[in-house]
Structure 1
Amino acid sequence: MTTIFFITKNGQGLASRLADGLADVELLRFDANAVRRRWLPGERLVFIMAAGIVIRTIAPLLVDKKTDPAVVVIDEAGQHAISLLSGHLGGANSLTREVAEILSITPVVTTASDVAGLPALDLWARDNNLFIENPGALPSVMKRLIDSRTLHIFTEHDVPLPPAFLRTDERANADVVISLTGSSVTPGSILLRPRILSVGIGCNSGTSRQEIEAAVGSALGLAGLPLVAILNIATIDIKGKEPGLVDFCAHHDLPLVTYSADRLNQVPNVGHSDAVFRATGAYAVAEPSAMLAAETEWLLIEKQKFPNVTVAVARRETQKPAGSLI
């Protein structure tokens, strides 16, 4: 949602013009308490007033660039739109350009990569479903990109690279490493995990989040795969509201996809269990769920059985893998 704050009558007029060009928008007379209430991840805040007022108001609210909302400031004369905070991940840069186009004013974006016409590594990673394992290295890598205008990328994952990102076969010399496995990178380099794993889960009623989490971690650990590489969780539809499973997905911010027993029974090359069929109407849950969610006919990790949980893992990719890892 976009909230537009104004102080003066002129600011209110600008706010109304801007609101006509935006969707899901609210206009509010400026109030520090209202700003605090709307200081939430994913929000977009536009202030039509002096930048100093905005800075003094939001300074105590700042937490992290990954969660702070986008903040854009427009001067009272309606001449400039300034991206003030959360330009990349928060979307303030794109909002600034959108606002400037609606009002026919000048956008002001100061992030170094944008000024230099180079890709922002954090945005590029997000847009390609890549998790940054060591975000603390991001500033030094981005400085290297801005200074040299190129980065060397070692990747084991098929991902489109912008022109400034040069592919290398030498992991040790790469500025950015994209890999499902392994944790070692050269100091000062970025490690990215592709989110391409679909985890199929079957569980008994009443299984806790902690038990599901332990089972998933153990299954992934057999192949040295990180939890952050999970794209989604899949199961049978009758388990779609299982509290422990729902809690696990919410805790890790993972989508839960479900399939009917009939759909699961149509998946070939998976094990059958009469006991599972009597309980669910499906001959198997974990394996076919994982394969359907990954849109593949192959398993990376075949069904692993735990006391109250079964786990299988598939990998979303365009080419057939050599075979199951486990």
Structure 2
Amino acid sequence: MDQNNQKPAIALWVITPKGAGIAQRIAGRLENVTIHAGKSAGRPEDALFFDSLAEAVEKHFRSYDAHVFVMATGIAVRMIAPLLDSKHVDPAVVTVDESAGFAVSLVSGHLGGANAWTEKIAAITGACPVITTATDRAGVPAVDLLAKQHGLQADNPEAVRAVSMALISGQKPLRYDPYQVLASGLGQWTQDINTPDFDNQPGIYVCHHCPDLPENVLVLRPTSLAVGMGLNSGTDAGQLCEAVYSAFARHRLSVKSIRAFATICEKTREPGLREMARHFARPLTGYSRARLAKIKDVPTPSETVEKHMGVKSVCEAAAIKAARSGQILVPKQKTKNTTVAVAALDFLS
């Protein structure tokens, strides 16, 4: 799968010698491709062979980022139908007929990349690309794809439909986007607003705060928050995670917007802190005493912390440092064994 910047994994499915020939042409032009061939497909080079197409597709469906079926679209539909979940998690599926007349984007056109794969495969085979997603046909931006490209996570992906329908019908959805993450892609298509007042109109909200919003507003989370952590030695990951969740809930912030965790260097060796960072799938950074001491404007300096750690602040100073001198949104929150502070970046890059 496409992890850690590896090339996307692609499966090519063939059941006849003619289909195998097309698959080999495609495989010769793309990277990280595996051909899966049936008994009647001849013996294509380097292929994996199967007895039952349905069983093989079921076994491997979630193992690839994209599937290309070189066969009738109806066959492909019957193979994948029981395996589909949603466009947010399904791999891309493309079909190519055995005359290479048409390449069809079948499933996960935007988020899975099937539309892009269709264009590539059409260019390789000479097929006519067939793309039927409504935004593409209407010539308007695909909001879900733009969000993915900018690293934004959706709270309510079902709201994409309301925004897309507004775009297709010629409306300009409202867009609250303080960091202007989507300004380049949606600026001319949306109406930028300075306060999150949508008045029940379709819209897009790009921010780490969690206000109450209408259902037709797509909520997208930028990675704009740095979390500073302090802890007693031996504190387990459960206590640390609970402290983070509680602080974010109390101040109505989204944990999806966490960009990184930060603390003093010595604490990065704590197993509980490392496990907590893995739980949130975010990096953990440690700063030296000297670097933390340079952060002067901490809201709640502590003589006790200075006595034990050599600096007047750990969690607040670390949050500010990790946020590139950004503003503290959540000053130090204390539990028995932890302290948590949250700072917002002034700009994203």
Question: TM-score per shorter chain, which class?
Answer: 0.7 to 0.9
Cα gap change, 1:234 to 1:68, in 2 (>3 Å): farther
Alignment partners' CA distance in 1, 2:245 and 2:81: 39
Partner residue of 1:52? Answer: 74
* 1:153/1:165 contact within 8 Å kept: yes
Partner residue of 2:19? Answer: 11
Partner residue of 1:152? Answer: 174
* 1:119/1:162 contact within 8 Å kept: no
Report whether the alignment pairs 1:190 with 2:181. Answer: no
RMSD: 2.9
Superposition map of 1:1-40 within 5 A = 1-30=9-38, 31-40=53-62
Superposition map of 1:114-263 within 5 A = 114-159=136-181, 160=183, 161-169=186-194, 170-172=197-199, 174-178=201-205, 179-235=207-263, 242-252=270-280, 254-259=281-286, 261=288
Gap regions ≥5 residues in structure 2: 1-8, 39-52
Alignment partners' CA distance in 1, 2:308 and 2:60: 47
Task: For residue 268 of structure 1, give the secondary structure of its aligned residue in structure 2.
Answer: coil
Alignment partners' CA distance in 1, 2:229 and 2:254: 17
- State percent identity of aligned pairs: 36
Task: For residue 40 of structure 1, give the secondary structure of its aligned residue in structure 2.
Answer: helix
* 1:264/1:284 contact within 8 Å kept: no
Alignment partners' CA distance in 2, 1:105 and 1:74: 8
* Stretch moving more, 129-138 or 16-25: 129-138
Larger radius of gyration: 2
* 1:168/1:174 contact within 8 Å kept: no
Report whether the alignment pairs 1:318 with 2:347. Answer: yes
Task: For residue 221 of structure 2, give the secondary structure of its aligned residue in structure 1.
Answer: strand
Partner residue of 1:95? Answer: 117
Cα gap change, 1:311 to 1:114, in 2 (>3 Å): same
**Post-superposition CA distance 1:210-243 (Å, at most 9, x none):** 3222211222244322222223333456655755
How many equivalent residue pairs? 315
Alignment partners' CA distance in 2, 1:28 and 1:267: 59
What TM-score does the superposition give when structure 1 sets the normalisation length? 0.83
* 2:326/2:345 contact within 8 Å kept: no
Task: For residue 87 of structure 2, give the secondary structure of its aligned residue in structure 1.
Answer: coil
Partner residue of 1:323? Answer: none
* 2:277/2:284 contact within 8 Å kept: no
Deviation at 1:94, TM superposition (A): 1.3
Alignment partners' CA distance in 1, 2:226 and 2:153: 15
Gap regions ≥5 residues in structure 1: 320-326
Alignment partners' CA distance in 2, 1:167 and 1:298: 23
**Post-superposition CA distance 1:60-109 (Å, at most 9, x none):** 11112211111111111112211111111111111111222232322111
Task: For residue 164 of structure 1, give the secondary structure of its aligned residue in structure 2.
Answer: coil
